[in-house]
Amino acid sequence: MNKLIDKYGRQITYLRLAVTDRCNLRCKYCMPAEGIKIVPRKELLSYKEIYRITRALTELGVNKIRLTGGEPFVRKDFMQLLEMLSYNDLLKKINITTNGALVKHNIPKLEELNINTINLSIDSLKPERFFEITRRNNFHDVFDTLNLLEKSKINLKLNIVVQPGVNTDEIGDFVALSQERNLSVRFIEEMPFNGTGQRTIDEVWNYNRILEEIRKSHPEFEILDHEKSSTSKNFKLPDSTGNFGIIPAYTRTICHDCNRVRITATGMIKNCLFDDGVFNLKEVLNKDISNEDLKDLFLEIIPQKPKNGFVAEENRRKNPNVSESMSTIGG
């Protein structure tokens, strides 16, 4: 079988696909309060196109998909897309990243479809602060989702974007949550992808600083083994049920083991989070490309992955008009 291996020897086995750029929340680090440009629906990949792309990629060795957005559950019939993808026997894991506001009633069906892991974004355990961050009043919906997922057979990870001056005082509380609860806490370095550049990040809360903060409240913890391509470095408190980790998304110390390709909601292939898109699939799919030609296209484009996020960012600077949000990139 032809595989997607780049010139640095990295094999691409993991697809992150955004199903929409729309969202029901307006997190300050991700989207402006108003006026974000939403793409017309007809420009989004259709579910049939998503199935075709995924099938071709799995025939080239991809075995894991993460569906994200925007908010995946705001797209009409998202559960049907999951059902379609579950028929692909080459996909070993289907994961979702969600804000959790529209999830709780779908949990039995998500279990039935064998969804492997859900990453639930929750940046504060305090309802008022959650409102300040997301500009929406959905704390209780999200927390209900957290409680139900914890009891389900789906693995639960919490995504917490560490925001200077906003939620750094809750780092210890989230670590404490991993002591009692059957979940993995993941702290993410904030990146300057917020749609308009409205929010400036004045203080650096990188991997080292987050770890230092954890040591203040929980001096004893052990380092966990992790998969080579894992985005996080993981730890565990003594005798704890869950674990916690840090994702150095912005310091980019994980690029050498990257196994990911991203596809945006409009079908743009991104070989790196920090590039500005290398090929638009929508155009070729509209022209009825065959499965073999689609695979050849992937074999040509995906192995051109840049060495790391710094190289990708440097290339992107050549296009100064790019101002993206994680909601369009697909977080």
Q: Provide, rounded to whole angstroms, the least separation between the CB of residue 271 and ligand SF4.
A: 22
Which residues bind to ligand SAM, rule: CB under 6 A?
23, 29-30, 68-69, 71, 97-99, 121, 159, 161, 188, 190-191, 193-194, 249, 326-327, 331
71 near ligand SF4, rule: CB under 6 A: yes
Answer for which of 4, 15, 17, 31 binds ligand SF4 (CB under 6 A) is: 31
Q: DSSP letter string over 232-284?
A: SEEEE-TT-SSEEEEE-TTTT--GGG--EEEE-TT-EEESSTTS--SEEHHHH
Answer for which of 14, 19, 62, 69 binds ligand SF4 (CB under 6 A) is: 69
70 near ligand SF4, rule: CB under 6 A: yes
167 near ligand SF4, rule: CB under 6 A: no
Beta strands in 124-274 (DSSP E): 155-162, 184-189, 222-223, 233-236, 243-247, 260-263, 268-270
- State how far the Cα of 272 lies from the Cα of 80, in Å rounded to an integer: 28
Answer for which of 99, 106, 124, 178 binds ligand SF4 (CB under 6 A) is: 99
Question: Collapsing DSSP states into helix, strand and coil, what is residue 53?
Answer: helix
The secondary element (H helix, E strand) that includes residue 317 is none
Measuring CA to CA, which residue among 20, 18, 29 is closest to residue 325?
29
- State how far the Cα of 319 lies from the Cα of 322, in Å rounded to an integer: 6
Q: Provide, rounded to whole angstroms, the least separation between the CB of residue 294 and ligand SAM.
A: 26
Choose from ligand SAM, ligand SF4, none: what does 26 bind? Cβ within 5-8 Å by kind: ligand SF4
27 near ligand SF4, rule: CB under 6 A: yes
- State how far the Cα of 121 lies from the Cα of 134, in Å rounded to an integer: 11
Choose from ligand SF4, ligand SAM, none: what does 31 bind? Cβ within 5-8 Å by kind: ligand SF4
Answer for which of 4, 17, 30, 258 binds ligand SF4 (CB under 6 A) is: 30
